[in-house]
Amino acid sequence: MASSNSAVAEPEVQEQEQKAKPKQQPRYHVILWDDPEHTYGYVIDMMRELFHMTETAGRKLAEEVDKTGRAICLTTTLEHAELKRDQIKAYGADPGSMKSKGSMSASIEAAR
């Protein structure tokens, strides 16, 4: 009889374990948009400071945004994505560009 009871208990344990797993929060991309007013150096410095990227990773992102018009900086939770977008928007003008009057544009979008 003990073997039949354990067979019944096993599915219940599996159901409880599945219920105990926390749901993963939806993911969002932080998108950096290209503009002609900011230099590669500005983008690299911003990526290093705000996203802790290496200089090489920052340069690759700067090249991507320059070539394609946009680049994904980070994929994260909504709250963190909003924070990073706002930090990009508040980063300020590019001191290496006479044309730069303010920060670069950034947005967030749902990751698929």
- Per-residue pLDDT tens over the stretch 50-66: 999 999 999 999 999 99
Would 13 be classed as within a structural domain? no
Threshold 0.85, pTM exceeds? no
Per the CB < 8 A criterion, the answer to whether 30 and 69 are in contact is: no
Per the CB < 8 A criterion, the answer to whether 95 and 39 are in contact is: no
Span 25-50, average pLDDT? 96
Domain count for the chain, please give it: 1
- Structural domain of 77: 22-110
Would 38 be classed as within a structural domain? yes
Q: What's the pLDDT band for 23 if we cut at 50, 70, 90?
A: confident
Provide the residue count of the chain.
112
Would 12 be classed as within a structural domain? no
Would 7 be classed as within a structural domain? no
Would 16 be classed as within a structural domain? no
Q: What is the CATH number of the domain that holds 65?
A: 3.30.1390.10
Q: What's the pLDDT band for 25 if we cut at 50, 70, 90?
A: confident
Would 3 be classed as within a structural domain? no
Q: What's the pLDDT band for 26 if we cut at 50, 70, 90?
A: very high
Would 33 be classed as within a structural domain? yes
Percent of the chain with pLDDT over 70: 82
Separation CA 49–CA 53 (nearest Å)? 8
Look at residue 12 in the predicted model and tell me its pLDDT. 65
| DSSP SS3 for 97 | coil
More confident residue, 25 or 44: 44
Would 66 be classed as within a structural domain? yes
| DSSP SS3 for 111 | coil
